[in-house]
Amino acid sequence: MDYAINRVTNKIESAEKAFGGGFYVCPICRARVSHCAGLKRRKYFAHYPGTGTFECENFTLGQYEQGASNGALAGLTKRRMDLRLKIERGQNRAAWYLELTLPSCRACNATLTVDVGGRLQNINMRGMATGFRIMAELSTDDFRIVSFDGAPDRFFVEGVERECRGLPSLGAAVFTASGRGGTIGFPRAHELRGAETYAVLWKEPEFPGFPNELVPDRFQSRQGWSLALITVPEAPSQECIEWLQAFTGLMVNPSVPSISTVWPFLARNASVNAVECTDSSSIVLAANMMPVGPGDAGPNMLVFGGESRIAAMGLERSPALFVLAPGGQTHFRVAKSERSESEKLFSRTLTVRPVSDLPGLEMAFTTAEGVHLVVPFGTSKCKALVESVRQQLTTLEYLAMPPGISGQLHAESRSTPVTLRLASGNTAAPHCAHQRLLPPAIQTAVIDFLSDSSSPVDLEFGGFGRLRLAGTPLMPAVSKAHLVLDHLIRTRLRSFLFQLHVGSTAGRFANDSTLVRAFCASRPPQRLIPNYRALASELRASGFDIKHSAGGVSL
């Protein structure tokens, strides 16, 4: 076992951090355990010879407890194969199957043959150091080890049962969905308890007629077998108990008292009755199905922390909520006043490792309003901002990347293909010390190509993203020097500029182009805006390129 209680300090300690020499007891059965450490195996706790029993979940039979009258393996309780139910996560209601779990064995040059429900499968025993799992068929026949070939592990051959009970032909096989420990899959249940969830697998009848107290969560049937999840009520009726016992063949027992952590959310089970949680000013606990006296509103709970001992009574019977303010206490335990077997040992030592963002390529922009933006490379927002750079609405400042990143830029400059090899430089990015900029000359060239709307660009950085831009072909420049205004439009334009005090003589403007430029640079008052718009429309009809802007029009 990995954890034990130090009776001197009354605290739970891990085997890796314990120094030995202390008086340790098992958290489950409270029998004395010893701290074991070796050169080939990590540190662990084990029951003293003669103190542990098979009722304790932490008990493992040691070599000194094996009988010697009929050989080394005569007194060894044989290990068994285990049938487990696997239900994959997700929306696929047909993703369930059975697995046959074989015990571990020492590496050996041998092969064993297993009957997994009418199908034989050969397994290399060299890969069974941590056990082995095989997909099993839905069968009522027993699963069994058929034969060995080669030189198998003697302890496995003599210490493992050859058969595992198959599915029942009548009634249902029950798998517990609330098993303890980190074993994969749902093991078979040997009893039913209130307030717990079970998976029932049956073949006949197709609709067994569940009582109203049981609301089955049905899965997709397979090969005539039906699967459903049910939750046994905390206090089932006698009719429900009789139906469950007849359908599953298991006894229905009362709920097991338990203590669970409601807050903080960052908590985990370090052992069967030990909890590690993050440091918090308050801890909220829930006492479930605790026995309550006739005149009590809720269970009477005790908290032990060092030399302190505090009692409190719940306001509800089940679940009863308690709020603890541990202060400076790092380790403490909570228990029912007269039921120490349902206690929980809490340790406020759980630390959360900060998750840093993965490195990535970024581009920095500055908008017309002066807002600085740093966006991930290759995203839709990044491409939209680059397009706005080509429209001269946004400025591209730089590209930032993690050290060691390389890429390529393929572009065309006046129909000439250009290829640039890109690699991160040594200069840190302004927004992040962990990011690097391109060398100055390469950075300038990349920004020029990305800002040129006429240049097609293919910018690629391997797995960090790719950006492709299609260039706009250049239109032949149209000279505006030869454009001549109509005499009436020229007169109206001069009159309009005279009202704005732009020019007082006709000779101020050398030609019609300078006259139009003066018109574009003007800022008319509100009362002359209609005339301003009418003249702009007539100038555009005369061939001049008049574009609206935020302050008026521009040539």
Examine the pLDDT at 61 and tell me if it is beyond 80.
no
Question: Confidence class of residue 500 from pLDDT cuts 50, 70 and 90?
Answer: confident
235, 194 contact by CB (below 8 A): yes
Examine the pLDDT at 357 and tell me if it is beyond 70.
no
Residue for token pair 């409270």 = 30
Sheet strands (E) in 405-514: 406-413, 416-423, 436-437, 457-460, 466-469
pLDDT reported for residue 507? 47
pLDDT digits (tens, 9 = 90+) for 98-147: 999 999 998 899 999 999 998 999 999 998 988 899 999 999 999 999 99
Higher-scoring residue by pLDDT: 255, 383: 383
Residues 6+ apart with CB under 8 A from 312: 300, 301, 303, 322
Tell whether the torsion through CA atoms of 428, 431, 437 and 442 is positive or negative: negative
pLDDT digits (tens, 9 = 90+) for 211-235: 998 989 889 998 889 999 998 988 8
The pLDDT mean for the chain works out to 81
As a whole number, mean pLDDT of residues 149-170 equals: 90
Residue for token pair 């007891």 = 25
Say whether the peptide bond before residue 152 is cis (omega within 30 degrees of 0): no
Q: Which residues on adjacent β-strands are paired with residue 367?
A: 394
As a whole number, mean pLDDT of residues 302-322 equals: 84
Q: How far apart are CA 420 and CA 52, in angstroms?
A: 73
Residue for token pair 């941590």 = 130
285, 324 contact by CB (below 8 A): yes
pLDDT reported for residue 201? 94
Residue for token pair 């740093």 = 374
Query: Distances in Å between the alpha carbon of 539 and those of 492, 504, 518, 535?
Result: 11, 21, 13, 6
Higher-scoring residue by pLDDT: 532, 114: 114
N residues, the chain: 555
Q: How far apart are CA 138 and CA 219, in angstroms?
A: 15
Angle between helices 512-521 and 487-499 (to 10 degrees): 40
pLDDT reported for residue 413? 79
Examine the pLDDT at 95 and tell me if it is beyond 80.
yes
The residue among 42, 35, 30 whose CA lies nearest residue 13 is: 35
Question: Phi/psi of residue 396, each to 5°?
Answer: -85, 120
Q: Which tokens hold the place of 538?
A: 């007539």
Angle between helices 440-451 and 380-390 (to 10 degrees): 80
pLDDT reported for residue 69? 38
Q: Which tokens hold the place of 393?
A: 């609405």
Question: Confidence class of residue 70 from pLDDT cuts 50, 70 and 90?
Answer: very low
Residue for token pair 């779990």 = 101
Examine the pLDDT at 182 and tell me if it is beyond 50.
no
As a whole number, mean pLDDT of residues 52-68 equals: 58
Q: How far apart are CA 448 and CA 460, in angstroms?
A: 16
Q: Which residues on adjacent β-strands are paired with residue 260?
A: 286
Q: How far apart are CA 421 and CA 368, in angstroms?
A: 31
Higher-scoring residue by pLDDT: 63, 194: 194
Say whether the peptide bond before residue 319 is cis (omega within 30 degrees of 0): yes
Question: Confidence class of residue 74 from pLDDT cuts 50, 70 and 90?
Answer: very low
Examine the pLDDT at 66 and tell me if it is beyond 50.
no
Sheet with 11-14, edge to edge strand ranges? 11-14, 3-6, 24-25, 32-36, 44-47
Question: Confidence class of residue 555 from pLDDT cuts 50, 70 and 90?
Answer: very low
pLDDT reported for residue 72? 43
pLDDT reported for residue 62? 55
Higher-scoring residue by pLDDT: 148, 482: 148
Examine the pLDDT at 73 and tell me if it is beyond 90.
no
Amino acid in position 64: Y
Which segment, 137-141, 185-189, 266-270, is predicted with the most confidence on average? 137-141
Quickly count: other Cβ atoms within 10 Å of residue 83's Cβ: 22
pTM (predicted TM-score): 0.47
Q: Which of 31-40, 102-111, 123-132, 401-410 has the lowest mean pLDDT?
A: 31-40
36, 46 contact by CB (below 8 A): yes
The residue among 213, 184, 217, 182 whose CA lies nearest residue 199 is: 217
Amino acid in position 75: G
Q: How far apart are CA 48 and CA 349, in angstroms?
A: 29
Examine the pLDDT at 475 and tell me if it is beyond 90.
no
Q: What radius of gyration, in Å, describes the C-alpha atoms of the chain?
A: 40
pLDDT reported for residue 136? 93
pLDDT reported for residue 339? 61
Instruction: Provide the CB-side half-sphere exposure for 378 (13 A, CA).
Output: 11
Q: How far apart are CA 272 and CA 188, in angstroms?
A: 19
Amino acid in position 215: V
Higher-scoring residue by pLDDT: 548, 267: 267
The residue among 155, 150, 147, 185 whose CA lies nearest residue 79 is: 155
pLDDT reported for residue 369? 86
Q: Which residues on adjacent β-strands are paired with residue 3?
A: 14
Residue 366, H or E segment: strand 362-367
Domain boundaries, the chain: 1-77, 82-164, 172-253, 258-347, 362-469, 487-554
As a whole number, mean pLDDT of residues 498-513 equals: 63
Residues 6+ apart with CB under 8 A from 439: 423, 425
Burial 190-203 (b: 16+ CB within 10 A, else e): eebbbbbebbbbbb
Residue for token pair 């454009």 = 483
